[in-house]
Amino acid sequence: MRPVRLALPALLALLALLAVLALLAPSFFAPDNLRDVVISNALVQIIAVGMTMVILTGQVDVAVGATAGVCAVLSATLAREGVPPVLAAMVATLAGGSIGLVSGVLVARLRLPSIVVTLALLVILRDGLRWATDGAWVGDLPVSFQWFGLGQGGGQTLLIGLTVAVIVAGAWFLRTTPLGRAVYATGSDAESAQLLGLRPDRVVMASFAACGLLTGLAAALNASRFAEVPGAITAGIEMKVIAAVVVGGTSITGGRGSIGGTVIGVALLGTIGTGLTFLGVSAYWERALQGAIILAAILYETVRRRRA
Amino acid sequence: MRNRHELALAIVVAAEVAVFAVVAPNFATGANAAEIVRLAVEVGLLALALTPVIVSGGIDLSCGALLGLSAITLGALWRDGGWPMPLAAAAALGVGLLGGALNAWLIAYRGLPALMVTLGSLSLFRGLAEGLTGAVDNYTGLPPSFLALGQGYLAGIPRQTPVLLLVAAGVAVLLHRATRGRAYYAIGWNAEAARHAGVKVANRLAELYLLSGLAAGLAAVIYVAHLGQAKADAGTGYELTAITAVVLGGAAITGGVGTIGGTILGLLAMVVLQNGLRLAALPAELAGILTGVLLMGALALGKAPGVRSPQSAVRSPQSELEMRNTQLAVLCGVILLGAGIVATSNWWLVRSLRPAALAPATTGATTPTARRVVIGMMPKAKGDPYFVSCRKGAEEAAAALGVDLIWDGPTELDPAKQNEVVEAWITRGIDVVAVSVENQAAISTVLRKARSRGIKVLTWDADSEPDARDFLVNQATPQGIGGTLADEAARLLGGAGEFAIVTASLSAANQNEWIKHIRARLASAHPKVTLAVIRPSDGDRDRAFAETQTILKVYPKVRVVMGIAAPAVPGIAEAVKQSGRTDVKVTGLSLPNMCKPYVHAGIISSIVLWNTGDLGYLTVVAGHALARGQLTRGATSIDAGRLGSIAIDKDQILLGKPFVFTRENIDDFDF
CB contact under 8 A, A127 and B288: yes
DSSP class of residue A150?
A: T
What average pLDDT does the segment A123-133 reach?
Answer: 85
- Note whether residue B305 is domain-resident: no
Amino acid at site A212: G
Q: How far is A235 from chain B (nearest CA, A)?
A: 11
- Of A134, A243, A253, A234, nearest to A187 by C-alpha is A253
CB-CB neighbors (< 8 A) of A137 in chain B: 385, 594
Q: Does B384 touch chain A (CB under 8 A)?
A: yes
CB-CB neighbors (< 8 A) of B111 in chain A: 302
Is B648 in the same domain as B536?
no
B121, B252, B285: residue with CB nearest A291: B121
Q: How confident is the model at residue B326 (pLDDT cuts 50, 70, 90)?
A: low
Q: Does B604 touch chain A (CB under 8 A)?
A: no
Q: In the prediction, which pLDDT does B8 show?
A: 85
Q: How confident is the model at residue B31 (pLDDT cuts 50, 70, 90)?
A: confident
- Ranked by mean pLDDT, the top range of B70-74, B145-149, B604-608, B657-661 is B70-74
CATH code: domain of residue A287 = 1.10.3470
Q: Which domain holds residue B469?
A: 374-474+614-654
Structural contact between residues A69 and A235, judged by C-beta atoms closer than 8 angstroms: yes
CB-CB neighbors (< 8 A) of B59 in chain A: 115
Q: In the prediction, which pLDDT does B360 show?
A: 39
**DSSP element (H, E) containing B452:** helix B440-452
Q: In the prediction, which pLDDT does B340 show?
A: 60
More confident residue, B668 or A255: A255
Over residues B609-654, the pLDDT tens digits come to 888 889 999 999 999 999 998 888 888 888 888 888 888 888 889 8
Is B511 in the same domain as B443?
no
Q: Does B354 touch chain A (CB under 8 A)?
A: no
CB contact under 8 A, A243 and B120: yes
Is B161 in the same domain as B52?
yes
Best residue in B105, B126, B553, B671 for a mutation probing chain A (most A CBs within 10 Å):
B553
Q: In the prediction, which pLDDT does B245 show?
A: 92
Q: How far is A100 from chain B (nearest CA, A)?
A: 15
Helices (H), B60-160: 63-79, 85-104, 114-133, 144-151
**DSSP element (H, E) containing B639:** strand B637-639
Q: How confident is the model at residue B411 (pLDDT cuts 50, 70, 90)?
A: confident
What average pLDDT does the segment B349-355 reach?
Answer: 45
* Closest residue, chain B, to A228 (C-alpha): B594
- Note whether residue B330 is domain-resident: no
**DSSP element (H, E) containing B194:** helix B191-196
CB contact under 8 A, B412 and A110: no
In this predicted structure, the answer to whether residue A278 has a pLDDT above a threshold of 60 is: yes
User: What's the residue count for chain A?
Assistant: 308
Is B72 in the same domain as B204?
yes
In this predicted structure, the answer to whether residue B605 has a pLDDT above a threshold of 80 is: yes
Is B468 in the same domain as B483?
no
CB-CB neighbors (< 8 A) of B289 in chain A: 123-124, 127-128, 131
More confident residue, B5 or B374: B374
Looking at the structure of chain A, the number of domains it has is: 1
CA distances from residue B347 to A110, B20, B137, B294, B660 in whole angstroms, order as listed? 35, 14, 45, 22, 44
Looking at the structure of chain B, the number of domains it has is: 3
- Give the mean pLDDT of chain B: 84
CATH code: domain of residue B555 = 3.40.50.2300
Q: In the prediction, which pLDDT does B39 show?
A: 84
d(CA B174, CA B168): 10
Q: Does B597 touch chain A (CB under 8 A)?
A: yes
Phi, psi of B436, deg, nearest 5? -90, 110
Over residues B264-290, the pLDDT tens digits come to 999 999 999 988 888 888 887 788 888
Is B484 in the same domain as B465?
no
Q: Does B461 touch chain A (CB under 8 A)?
A: no
Q: How far is B466 from chain A (nearest CA, A)?
A: 30
Structural contact between residues A220 and A202, judged by C-beta atoms closer than 8 angstroms: no
Is B569 in the same domain as B457?
no
- Of B479, B526, B482, B528, nearest to B503 by C-alpha is B482
**B269, HSE (Cβ side, Cα atoms, 13 Å):** 35
So what's the ipTM on this one?
0.87
CB-CB neighbors (< 8 A) of A54 in chain B: none
Q: Does B300 touch chain A (CB under 8 A)?
A: yes
Q: Does B127 touch chain A (CB under 8 A)?
A: yes
What average pLDDT does the segment B90-106 reach?
Answer: 96
- Note whether residue B138 is domain-resident: yes
Structural contact between residues B474 and B454, judged by C-beta atoms closer than 8 angstroms: no
Over residues B491-540, the pLDDT tens digits come to 999 989 999 999 886 666 678 888 999 999 999 999 999 998 888 887 77
Q: In the prediction, which pLDDT does B322 show?
A: 42
What average pLDDT does the segment B587-613 reach?
Answer: 88
CB contact under 8 A, B110 and A299: yes
Q: Does B546 touch chain A (CB under 8 A)?
A: yes
In this predicted structure, the answer to whether residue A308 has a pLDDT above a threshold of 70 is: no
Q: In the prediction, which pLDDT does B355 show?
A: 42
Q: How far is A248 from chain B (nearest CA, A)?
A: 13
In this predicted structure, the answer to whether residue B344 has a pLDDT above a threshold of 60 is: no
- Note whether residue B387 is domain-resident: yes
Q: How confident is the model at residue B317 (pLDDT cuts 50, 70, 90)?
A: very low
- The residues with which B406 forms a beta bridge, in sequence order, are B376
Strand spans (E) along B511-569: 529-536, 558-563
- The residues with which B376 forms a beta bridge, in sequence order, are B406, B433
Q: Does B600 touch chain A (CB under 8 A)?
A: no
d(CA A252, CA B120): 13
Q: How far is B366 from chain A (nearest CA, A)?
A: 37
Is B557 in the same domain as B520?
yes
CB contact under 8 A, B574 and A128: no
What average pLDDT does the segment A137-164 reach?
Answer: 82
Is B36 in the same domain as B119?
yes
CB contact under 8 A, A291 and B120: yes
What average pLDDT does the segment A184-210 reach?
Answer: 92
Over residues B120-140, the pLDDT tens digits come to 999 899 989 988 887 667 788
CB-CB neighbors (< 8 A) of A120 in chain B: 244, 292-293, 295-296, 299
- Of B391, B357, B360, nearest to B375 by C-alpha is B391
Q: Does B252 touch chain A (CB under 8 A)?
A: yes
The counts of H helices and E strands in chain A are 14, 0
Q: Which domain holds residue A242?
A: 2-307
CB-CB neighbors (< 8 A) of B549 in chain A: 33, 36, 40
CB-CB neighbors (< 8 A) of A284 in chain B: 127, 130-131, 133-135
Best residue in B53, B62, B117, B124 for a mutation probing chain A (most A CBs within 10 Å):
B124
Domain finish residue from B239, B261, B285: B239
- Note whether residue B285 is domain-resident: no
Q: Does B553 touch chain A (CB under 8 A)?
A: yes
A274, A277, A294: residue with CB nearest B119: A294
High-pLDDT (> 70) share of chain B, %: 88
What average pLDDT does the segment A113-130 reach?
Answer: 88
Q: In the prediction, which pLDDT does B336 show?
A: 58
What average pLDDT does the segment B8-15 reach?
Answer: 90
CB contact under 8 A, A135 and B382: yes
Q: How far is A280 from chain B (nearest CA, A)?
A: 9
Q: Does B295 touch chain A (CB under 8 A)?
A: yes
Q: How confident is the model at residue B233 (pLDDT cuts 50, 70, 90)?
A: confident
- Note whether residue B320 is domain-resident: no
Q: How confident is the model at residue B78 (pLDDT cuts 50, 70, 90)?
A: very high
Domain finish residue from B212, B239, B266: B239
Least confident range of B249-263, B349-363, B475-489: B349-363
Q: What is the largest CA-CA distance in chain A?
A: 61
Rg of chain A in Å (alpha carbons) = 19
Q: Does B381 touch chain A (CB under 8 A)?
A: yes
Is B498 in the same domain as B644?
no
Amino acid at site B416: A
- Note whether residue B10 is domain-resident: no
Best residue in A34, A127, A279 for a mutation probing chain B (most B CBs within 10 Å):
A127
- Helix/strand/coil for B435: strand
Is B118 in the same domain as B144?
yes
- Note whether residue B419 is domain-resident: yes
Q: In the prediction, which pLDDT does A75 show?
A: 93
CB-CB neighbors (< 8 A) of B288 in chain A: 123-124, 126-128, 130
d(CA B366, CA B358): 12
d(CA B304, CA B310): 14
* Closest residue, chain B, to A107 (C-alpha): B300
Q: In the prediction, which pLDDT does B338 show?
A: 53
Q: What distance lies between CA A174 and its chain's CA centroid?
A: 16
High-pLDDT (> 90) share of chain B, %: 41
Best residue in A6, A35, A36 for a mutation probing chain B (most B CBs within 10 Å):
A36
What average pLDDT does the segment A79-104 reach?
Answer: 93
